[in-house]
Structures are given as C-alpha cells and as structure tokens.
C-alpha cells in the first residue's frame, strides 16, 4: 500500500516500514470490513530518523509530532478516512503544540495541499530535497495560536 502511493510518500520495503514503526512516536492502522485500508507513521523530537524533512522540522521546533507518512488505499478514498486519521493522531498527541508534515510541490500533490489547508495547516517553509522533490513544509498549531516555529 505504501509503495502504491509513491511519489506522495517515499518507497519502503518491509524492513524499512518495520524500522519506521519501531522508531515512531505513534503509528496507526485503519481497517474497514476486515481489510487494512490506511495507515500513518508519526515521529516526535529526538527520533532516530534521517529524513531531511524531519531534520528540517527538528531544527525549528522543540515540541511536535511529525506525520511522516499517511496512506489511504484508492478503494477507501473519499470515505473521510484521511480526516479521521488526522483526528485520531491529534487525540493521541494531546498536549503536543505542533503537528507537522510536508506535501510535495514538485511533483505537485494538489489534493493533499487542499486537504491540509482544510484541516488548518499553513506553510512555514519550502525545501528542495536531495532527491529532487520540492516540498511545502506545513504546520498546524494545536494550541490555537498563529502558526510559526517555537
């Protein structure tokens, strides 16, 4: 399911996904009618994770949850599962001031950009990655204040 979502998320084999989940602050799986139809992996500060996007946020925020990847299977899209996953993440990280993520600008992921805007995320920067993808760095202030780095 992860690799079917490339380039919205980076490719990962079973060993990499296992390592990501093991190092994560929070990982969630969504089932519908007995089938796994979605998942997300989140990291907190200080995780052993070399992602350039995660490191960008670590350099600017002290307390946060970083949503590294969220995937919903094509068959389960438009069922509200993406919003439900984000709501569950926010519930599990209650007290954390920032929920952070990035969305591709090149190649452009227009649907994800609109989705995150609807959820209250704002762009706090852009980053050109070493692997040729330009990303919009997004933050949602869970304290209700204007977004910006601590």
Residue 8 lies in a domain: yes
State which residues form the domain around 23. 3-141
Asked if the model's pLDDT at residue 146 lies above 80, the reply is no
Residue 50: helix, strand or coil by DSSP?
coil
Tens-digit pLDDT profile for residues 90-107: 999 999 999 999 999 999
Which one, of 63, 103, 69, lies nearest residue 85 by Cα?
A: 69
Mean pLDDT, residues 17-26? 93
Query: Whole-model pTM?
Result: 0.87
Residue 131 lies in a domain: yes
Identify whether the C-beta of residue 57 lies closer than 8 Å to the C-beta of residue 43: no
pLDDT given for residue 13 in this prediction: 78
pLDDT given for residue 76 in this prediction: 73
Residue 91: helix, strand or coil by DSSP?
helix
If one counts the domains in the chain, the total is: 1
pLDDT given for residue 144 in this prediction: 72
Tens-digit pLDDT profile for residues 109-137: 998 999 999 999 999 999 999 999 999 99
Residue 146 lies in a domain: no
Give the CB-side neighbour count of residue 140, counting CA atoms within 13 A: 22
The dihedrals phi and psi of 121, each to the nearest 5 degrees, come to -80, 145
Q: Which residues are paired to 102 by β-bridges?
A: 137
- Rounded-to-integer distance, Cα 90 and Cα 105, Å: 25
Quote the longest CA-to-CA distance of the chain: 42
Q: What CATH code is carried by the domain that includes residue 13?
A: 3.40.630.30
Residue 110 lies in a domain: yes
Residue 147 lies in a domain: no
Residue 105 lies in a domain: yes
Asked if the model's pLDDT at residue 147 lies above 50, the reply is no
């Amino acid at each position: 399911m992860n690799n079917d979502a490339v380039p919205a998320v980076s490719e990962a084999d079973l060993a990499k996904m296992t390592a990501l989940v093991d190092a994560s602050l929070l990982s969630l799986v969504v089932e519908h009618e007995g089938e796994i139809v979605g998942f997300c992996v989140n990291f907190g500060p200080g995780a052993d994770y070399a992602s350039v996007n995660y490191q960008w946020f670590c350099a600017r925020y002290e307390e946060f949850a970083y949503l590294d990847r969220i995937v919903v299977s094509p068959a389960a899209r438009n069922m509200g599962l993406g919003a439900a996953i984000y709501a569950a993440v926010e519930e599990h990280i209650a007290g954390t001031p920032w929920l952070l993520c990035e969305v591709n600008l090149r190649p452009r992921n227009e649907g994800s950009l609109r989705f995150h805007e609807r959820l209250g995320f704002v762009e706090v920067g852009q980053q050109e990655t070493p692997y040729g993808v330009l990303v919009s760095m997004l933050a949602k202030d869970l304290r209700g204040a204007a977004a910006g780095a601590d």
